[in-house]
A and B are shown apart, each in its own frame.
Chain A
């Protein structure tokens, strides 16, 4: 007996020794790979354990809620590498929004029902627990199954992946985590952030010696910032009162920058050295501030090839934008509905139609920063800026023409011909054609961008102070008022962080006339009548989430221009959107209940939005338009059109 025991001990100690020895040889990334495998196992284990509880007859909501928060903690530890490594999987099966989606890559229109942690969060923390129990069981077994299957997936982890994933996770923590986006009902967001940060801090600890060898000062600063960030959140764990602006300036941005500097200085390769240029993301992995002008790579949203993306092409596009030669009656240009002094809107609920024949169907949106979108128009029917342009040309209420007619007209101007030849040197085929015309206009429209408002400058530290109401307004916007869960920072539109690849639309229940005694639903069905493959019930009355940048200049508001002031818009949200004025759409995506904002809070939010105005360098018009030598009467065209 004794002998057996001692042999066991011997074997065990040899095993421990050899493991320790082996560990010594392993690199940080390999150790993190092992940790990550372990995290997946623990996450799965916690879900399975939770699943066992579900069949206990005496189970109560309280017990399940607290067990569920343990699942979340395991998930949050696994999240940062997993969601960088396989974002589609995490979004599809683990932590996607609790809304139905159209299944990608299927021949038929198929709907994917929502699943994962966010669905469970809602089922456990809102509604009737007894009623939800069958769904809770179903969701739990689904989650457990996909995680179990995922254990087959093995993928090497490199130092590069660890460091890049951490930076993306910081973006997620700020834009999705701390706003409450991924905990719609439990409100566990601060604890979630602490878990994610502690995990990253622990993994980063492995690099301590290494980074100190690279840049001791920077490394120590980074570790200290990490520690104080975690400590700060532990001390300030109230969702409503968390000072997110302080967090952004003091912790998020400095960490985002210092991890980048250390990564770069260490000589560890970066994403652009590993993948082809075409595979890079709209999220710019080389930016150092969430509110920097280069935080998103605008070129990833347009089709215009890089070699044609020159100042000359922008100038050509600007002429075309302001030139009524594009319209059938030679009186209307893009600028007819997009006035630069109004941030490229026109101040009208709906713009005047061609020939003063009523109005177009929807409100003219701002063009500034519009490039940061996956799809265009309020109903999201166009896939790129270049495709969007053609819709305007052929619309009977807008330009009432077609690309072939425009090509023919432009070719008659030697001035235009020369410009096209210069801009599109090397382009195969006719230099003035539908594609190059679209390219030029998209070059100009995509140049209308900038994050240089007072607020941006304050976030970046270029300004040392900003009004207290703006600070309060931002904190409400990103917290209690949950505006930031649809208008995502830093674009404040519906382009979804942390990779900013796709855009969202929302069902709000916007009335036809909010000032009527009994408001009724606006009958525009939005996205459900846009693309043929999107004709599903949950896109009925769904509209693209616009940016709130420059919103001080873009009244009136909403897709139908029904709201005259920002105060009215915030009131609408504060009361639960359509549901608050008895417009009932079951699939409304805005919370039905009141946000409980008081008057001062509404004012503060408006003050914050008003601090997002920036049209620097974007408002100038061309002084003249290109000449048509053989068509004298065309030369009377007005810059920007007659109306």
Chain B
């Protein structure tokens, strides 16, 4: 045993002199007496609940067609949850469909699907048979927009205000003409009537102008309630309702994207109040009021920018943790001239992003002022490849970067090269809070904008998005504070994560590559169960020991954590090399079949590990 290692070490060294890259023999003697590590089956169970294009939804009478059944739409994005303990249930789940398609039964545009779940034996979730107040019977129900408030399109994010049991859906895809809502069939002018908004009632607008409002829906009846004409029409991605049940923050996916606040006059009544837009450099106040006038509200972005609002680069989802609001700013590399001539001011978070980029590019800190950095951003000199997560503090009304996306560099490696694949957070998009006990964690979900520019560890590989959690009490988290919980199917976006209770979260895998195995070749909603009220990071067991070569089993994500950045190879039971990893600190073995494997360091030390 000792001899074998020695030999390998010598040949390794000899090679190192000629070539610094550590070689790993293709085959090795499998008779190793090495320390064994068990990789138990994950305590987290994954269960598919709702598959787009496969499961049937119950529809209402629409476009002259009778109520009936149709295959569910796909492109699952946001998930809303409303607690409902009747019949032993957990509550109602409602899923956004981010598409714009023609559908005789469900209705044109995007849409939502609602269903009720309960927990059964062995923590298995069950979609319950239900009869709705309109007589529809089944498991999955189409949320009726056509016959209530008018169609929606590309339903992306939303608001799931769990503390008040209310849900809104959003449409980031800002429409600018009737032809742009094709293939929706109804393009007749839309007359707003009978709403809670006096300023809107009786007004006739173009059909496309009735898209892109936040819409409140009722999952229990499978119906839309109202378009929130008082919050403004924009490329909304998502929002949050604060604990006071009065304050709503809204985030716009656009370049420029704006950050909006609504304050209700009366708690719980969101039909009356004031709408503001954020201006971080405002002198007396940081909020510019937008009057409750339909024409103004219909072009709130343009009005806000003209009045000097703060301009962001694609705001996505938000969540509240420890009383602060966290928002993803997903980034866009081809900003072009999108900020120019709008009148707004560049967000301080983009200034921080530019400085970060500058330092990575030039090896030294940016020497100019913030105003100069903002000008660089405005002049299209900041390729915002990877985005970031923002933190807004309602107490001070300041916004800052919480964590930068991007594998720019890692000082711990030679040449400052990025470490793959663990140090890698690109284009954060979905965002939600997981609360365990009194502690808040952020669930950050990626949606890659591109494969190029180091966004993916394997340049030409398919996009693979990941869901990370981070302890929100860490003021300035590093990449090493992020823990991966799940990765999507290839080419899919991972989105919609929402906590149901102390045991379970629900997640969507959206628009996967068609080559994925069934049912992962469809958009789907799945549950991850097994957190069991414990600290999700320690469920993952992420301790680091100061040994030269050791691995830490990670039952949750089935990761091997190495004690330092290094090269390693994995061998199967027959001693055949099956994987080689270079410059890694974490190896994801979730895809490996159960069995015995060996892991070997560059120095020839080996450990045996068993995937159960």
Residues of A within 8 A of B (CB): 25-30, 33, 84-89, 92, 104-105, 107-108, 149-156, 158-159, 209-210, 267-269, 273-276, 278-279, 281, 300, 302-303, 305, 383-384, 386-387, 427-428, 435, 499, 532
Contact = CB atoms under 8 A, between A and B. Distances in A.
Nearest to B25: A267
B461 A279 contact: yes
Given A151-B361, A209-B18, A275-B461, A532 B182 contact: yes
Interface of B: 16-21, 23-26, 154, 172-173, 180, 182-183, 357, 360-361, 383, 408-409, 415-418, 449-454, 458-462, 490, 514-519, 521, 569, 577-583, 591
Nearest to A213: B18
Contact of B577 (A156, A273, A387, A427): A273
B501 to A, nearest CB: 28
Contact of A25 (B20, B519, B580): B20
A616 to B, nearest CB: 28
Given A28-B21, A275-B461, 12 more contacts: A29-B19, A86-B453, A108-B180, A152-B360, A154-B418, A154-B454, A155-B418, A156-B415, A156-B418, A158-B21, A159-B21, A428-B518
A155 B20 contact: no
Nearest to A265: B26
Contacts of A300: 515
A269 B24 CA distance: 8
Given A158-B582, A267-B24, A275 B515 contact: no
A107 B20 contact: no
B490 A27 contact: no
Given A384-B514, A386-B514, A269 B577 contact: yes
Contacts of B17: 25
19 contacts: A27-B18, A27-B20, A28-B21, A30-B21, A86-B453, A86-B454, A87-B452, A88-B459, A153-B453, A155-B459, A156-B418, A159-B21, A268-B21, A274-B458, A274-B581, A275-B458, A276-B461, A278-B462, A384-B514
Contacts of A92: 452
Given A156-B582, A267-B23, A279 B514 contact: no
A107 B583 CA distance: 36
Contacts of A427: 518
Contact of B514 (A84, A159, A387): A387
> For the complex, would chain B's binding face be called helix, strand, loop or mixed by DSSP majority?
loop
Residue among B19, B154, B361, B591 with max Cβ neighbours from chain A (10 Å): B19
Contacts of A384: 514
Contacts of A274: 458, 579-581
* Interchain residue pairs A-B with the least CB separation, the first 3: A27-B20, A279-B461, A269-B580
A105 B429 CA distance: 14
A30 B415 CA distance: 10
A87 B514 contact: no
A386 B154 CA distance: 26
A108 B173 contact: yes
Contacts of A156: 415, 417-418, 582-583
Contacts of A153: 453-454
Given A88-B450, A155-B417, A27 B518 contact: no
B449 to A, nearest CB: 6
B19 A210 contact: yes
B357 A152 contact: yes
A87 B460 contact: yes
Contacts of B383: 149
Given A153-B453, A269-B577, A27 B21 contact: yes
Q: Give the most central of B23, B183, B357: most A CB within 10 Å.
A: B23
Nearest to A303: B514
A427 B154 CA distance: 32
B479 to A, nearest CB: 16
A29 B454 contact: no
B361 A281 contact: no
A153 B409 CA distance: 9
A47 B374 CA distance: 27
Contacts of A267: 23-26
A432 to B, nearest CB: 15
Most chain-B CB neighbours within 10 Å: which of A84, A89, A273, A281?
A273
B138 to A, nearest CB: 18
B514 A152 contact: no
Contacts of A105: 449-450
Contacts of B357: 152
Contacts of B154: 107
A395 B449 CA distance: 36
Contacts of B580: 269, 273-274
Contacts of B360: 152
Contacts of B516: 278
A20 to B, nearest CB: 15
Contacts of A150: 453
Nearest to A427: B518
B518 A435 contact: yes
B515 A27 contact: no
B459 A85 contact: yes
A411 B461 CA distance: 40
Nearest to B567: A158
A33 B579 contact: no
A158 B20 CA distance: 10
Contacts of B25: 267
A275 B521 CA distance: 20
A72 to B, nearest CB: 22
Contacts of B361: 149, 151-152
B488 to A, nearest CB: 12
Contact of B415 (A149, A154, A268, A305): A154
A165 B565 CA distance: 25
A274 B579 CA distance: 6
Nearest to B581: A274
Scoring B173, B450, B460, B519 by chain A CB atoms within 10 A of each residue's CB, the highest score goes to B460
A278 B24 contact: no
Contacts of B26: 267
Nearest to A300: B515
Given A33-B415, A108-B180, A154-B418, A88 B452 contact: yes
Contact of B517 (A27, A30, A152, A305): A305
Contacts of B182: 532
Nearest to B173: A107
A274 B582 CA distance: 9
B591 A276 contact: yes
B19 A28 contact: yes
A82 B394 CA distance: 46
A303 B582 contact: no
A29 B518 contact: no
A435 to B, nearest CB: 6
Given A152-B360, A384-B514, A29 B577 contact: no
A267 B582 CA distance: 15
A33 B582 CA distance: 15
Contacts of A29: 19-21
Contacts of B450: 88, 104-105
Contacts of A499: 460
B205 to A, nearest CB: 21
B20 A532 contact: no
A154 B182 CA distance: 43
B71 to A, nearest CB: 11
Contacts of A210: 18-19
A492 B518 CA distance: 32
A169 to B, nearest CB: 14
A472 B173 CA distance: 54
B459 A87 contact: yes
Contacts of A26: 20
B330 to A, nearest CB: 11
Contacts of B577: 269, 273
A273 B23 CA distance: 13
A19 B560 CA distance: 37
A186 B451 CA distance: 31
Given A86-B452, A108-B173, A279 B458 contact: yes
A87 B450 CA distance: 11
